[in-house]
Structure 1
């Protein structure tokens, strides 16, 4: 097949392999889905009623992924056209088996693994879009807006149903909660999302952020973690 220009290389994320692994595998990314306001305290801090309304979703392009390798500090370029960029620490679900209209009872069978993620947000552009009733793409789907740690397969890490989720900025704690505090659990989120889209192997689901979101500036160091998945660090440049 002839192309008018060379196609972009596939977007992939490294797998957190055991030290004894003979090969290093990578997870090819298909789509990135994000759940909005999925912790009660975060819903309140954003000015919304945390009652258990149906979840809502937005998306990021696959090439928004910014890989953060184990033991290294990732670099997040401060985006143009914004002066109020926020961090949102999240548990990310990696889908290994696709499907539509998946039942919550069987949803975890579709999970390949879990990762640490940051949903970086141009909050000023998001607020303006909300006010005008416009889409959020410029606020959520910009370049490098999805810093992501290696994916931990379920076979090694198990399913992440509870455990601390936290984020520090310049060694000062900003976010802390427990994954068990998700308004919509991971199985429920997968089931509901699959009624809108046929999920595919390679899909990533950012499951929501706890309270304590806030702005960062160039030079800031963000360090976050989730029990069972370790931690990662990203510097704003």
Structure 2
């Protein structure tokens, strides 16, 4: 049975969402503060974390950073903040999804189910992706350009893996957003994706101003161009 770690200080929200999550067949452990979360957290005990950004004694962002120091467990932020800068920061420090309040219960549960399914499928893939001089060690979450390690944010890493798993295939912006962030909530747009593409190109392309690996297809989207 999948176990979910839920960090939220709103008691009414805790009661309602915990009941709904358990109805889905998952177990739930709840913490209402950063201190309580730190005391309860055990790396190998949970399959997914749901974090409220605003906690009585700190920030969910800080808790996310601490978790990411030792674990690649999927993390969903649950918050009333819907500014694009807040969303990008949350994804950059390691979150896998971002749900803004108020939200529909069905959408919330579908996000959980989709993220858990995606993580299961991810573990069944090859342990290494390699093309165009870029190597991704999936189990170690490491990326190399030749022999040089590349430091990517969580969003950049997921984007790179998506491209490398679909070589020479045209991907529309909508397909990319749907695969990466379950974008039916419409909180990630094509402008944000453009920023991620630009950042990723600066790290993996020999000449970011004339990209050869991530190609823009006019009026279509993007493609991971495998260079012979």
TM-score band (shorter)? under 0.3
Larger % of helix: which? 2
Larger % of strand: which? 1
Under a length normalisation based on structure 2, what TM-score does the superposition of the two structures give? 0.21
Under a length normalisation based on structure 1, what TM-score does the superposition of the two structures give? 0.20
Higher relative contact order at CA 8 Å, sep ≥6: structure 1 or structure 2? Answer: 1
